[in-house]
Amino acid sequence: MEDLVTFMEVPVEVGRDEVVTAKSIDGGSIVFKNVDFRYPGQEKLLYHNFNLSIAAGERIGVVGYSGGGKTTFIKLLQRLYEIDRGTIKIDGINIKDVNIEYLRNHISIVSQEPLLFHRTLLENISYGNENVCLADIHDAAKRARIHDFITSLPDGYDTVVGERGLRLSGGEKQRVAIARIMLRQTPIIVLDEATSNLDSISEAEIQNEIETGWSDRTLIVIAHRLSSVRYMDRILVFAEGQIVEEGDHASLILKKQGNYRTLMDKQNRYRRQGEV
């Protein structure tokens, strides 16, 4: 509530009027330098002297227990909150020096619980992408493995979803949201537990589409299931606002008492018991 009240008092969103610098966001490299951050009203810093550097086109997996600060990292990247110290740069541009709409138009995000509108499936997929044709939309839906489901509905792409329309399952909503970003051409793509409600086979298929279709973009995949990030160039393990471990899958599993290895052993144990 405090957050909301503070938010209401803010006259205009920060950065709305700022001018785009001569440089532009196109590669998608990300640098966090000496970042301190605490949520408004909180006593404790969540990030203290946080440093991270992601190369343009790098594929990054992010794992760790919930509450570790993974989603916050994405929120800061979009400048949903102001940091207390340090800098965040994309392609060498301080995100404070660009217009906030410009910034957000260069990042595509699918979250765990995507927001769908009380509109048709067609409108929901094309939302935010003005200049797309029907063929592009169908193609995006195919790649997100939702096209067959949509065409099996009596009204197909004209089916209205939402409260008074078709109720979609968590996994179907995620697929619609993934189809939506498949249409976007942004240098940075973030999946924040975006495939958590899919079975692991669909998840692997969709990820494969993403990786082949977007091989030159910066891809950040935050995942609960470790198998989802196995093939990423680099995996970051978050705990209490810090990156406690990083490396590729092969190097991380070698660390016997490591955080990644421990998470992995736990997931395997639960899977054997049929709990995952």
Q: Please, which of residues 48-77 interact with Mg ion by CB under 5 A?
A: 70-71
The Cα angle at residue 84 between residues 83 and 88, in degrees rounded to 5: 40
Tell the smallest beta-carbon distance from residue 170 to Mg ion (Å): 15
Q: Distance between CA 114 and CA 176 in Å, rounded?
A: 9
The partner in contact with residue 72, picked from ligand ADP, Mg ion, none with C-beta cut-offs of 5 to 8 angstroms by kind, is: ligand ADP
Q: Distance between CA 38 and CA 141 in Å, rounded?
A: 39
**Window 79-118: contact mask with ligand ADP (x via CB under 6 A):** ----------------------------------------
The only residue of 37, 47, 61, 71 in contact with ligand ADP, by rule CB under 6 A: 71
The only residue of 28, 50, 54, 72 in contact with ligand ADP, by rule CB under 6 A: 72
The only residue of 23, 34, 67, 155 in contact with ligand ADP, by rule CB under 6 A: 67
**Window 13-52: contact mask with ligand ADP (x via CB under 6 A):** --------------------------x--x---x------
- Strands, E, within the chain: which ranges? 30-37, 47-54, 59-63, 85-90, 93-94, 107-110, 188-192, 218-222, 234-239, 242-247
Tell the smallest beta-carbon distance from residue 15 to ligand ADP (Å): 19
Instruction: Retrieve residue 173's tokens.
Output: 């909503």
Q: CA dist 211 to 18, 45, 92, 208, 232, Å?
A: 34, 35, 25, 5, 10
Amino acid symbol at 57: G
* Number of residues counted as binding Mg ion (CB under 5 A): 2
Binding region for ligand ADP (CB under 6 A) out of 62-70, 131-139, 142-150, 249-257: 62-70
Closest by Cα among 91, 96, 98 to 76: 96
Residue 38 near residue 184, CB atoms below 8 Å:
no
Nearer to ligand ADP, 72 or 207 (CB): 72
Nearer to ligand ADP, 67 or 92 (CB): 67
Please report whether residue 61 would count as binding ligand ADP according to CB under 6 A: no
The only residue of 66, 131, 257, 273 in contact with ligand ADP, by rule CB under 6 A: 66
The dihedral built from the CA positions of residue 180, 161, 173 and 90, taken in this order, carries a sign that is positive
Q: Looking at the DSSP assignment, which residues form a beta bridge with residue 32? A: 52, 88
Nearer to Mg ion, 116 or 191 (CB): 191
Q: Distance between CA 85 and CA 52 in Å, rounded?
A: 14
Catalog residues that contact ligand ADP under the rule CB under 6 A.
Answer: 3, 39, 42, 46, 64, 66-72, 238
